[in-house]
Amino acid sequence: MKFALASIALTTLIAVPFSAQAQFAKPEDAVKYRQSAFSLMGTHTGRVGAVVKGEKPYDKAAVEADVAVIEMMSRLPWTAFPQGSDLPNSKAKPEVWKEQDKFKAAAEKMQGEVSKLSAAAKSGDLNAIKTAFGGVGQSCKACHDNYRNK
């Protein structure tokens, strides 16, 4: 009986997603978290970009590893936009909180483009990587244009 109750409690805790407010003790923590995630994603995107532009030689394993980091990081920052985290050191525009549905759709679009890049990286086809990388860049730019202060 105790096992069944513990199992139900654990299942409930896992099934109920934590709110963004509960994940961060202070709004500053949310800003730092999302900026860190975006920074890492940008670093690895830059590495792949250098290959796509011909500035660095193509190394399938390196590109695959960088894209794997991009893919993982592309899923992290979105919970770090709780109400009240529009602080002066944040580059997020107020539209992030005013247009939650559109902001979420932009995040999902970027994640979809990153998934395409991941498949291309695994294929080893540099032309496919270049094409998919362009889609990632366009989705990032669209979100930056609409939701990020320069």
54: in domain: yes
pTM listed for this prediction: 0.83
Check residue 143 and give its pLDDT. Answer: 94
Nearest-angstrom CA–CA distance, 131 and 36: 27
The reply to whether 48 falls in a domain is yes
Q: Is 55 helix (H, G, I), strand (E, B) or coil?
A: coil
pLDDT in 10s for each residue of the chain, 150 residues: 444 434 444 444 343 344 444 589 999 999 999 999 999 999 999 999 999 999 999 999 999 999 999 999 999 999 999 999 999 999 999 999 999 999 999 999 999 999 999 999 999 999 999 999 999 999 999 999 999 998
Q: Which domain holds residue 115?
A: 28-77+92-147
Structural domain total, the chain: 1
What is the pLDDT at residue 61? 98
CA dist., res. 86 & res. 82, Å (int):
8
pLDDT at 8: 44
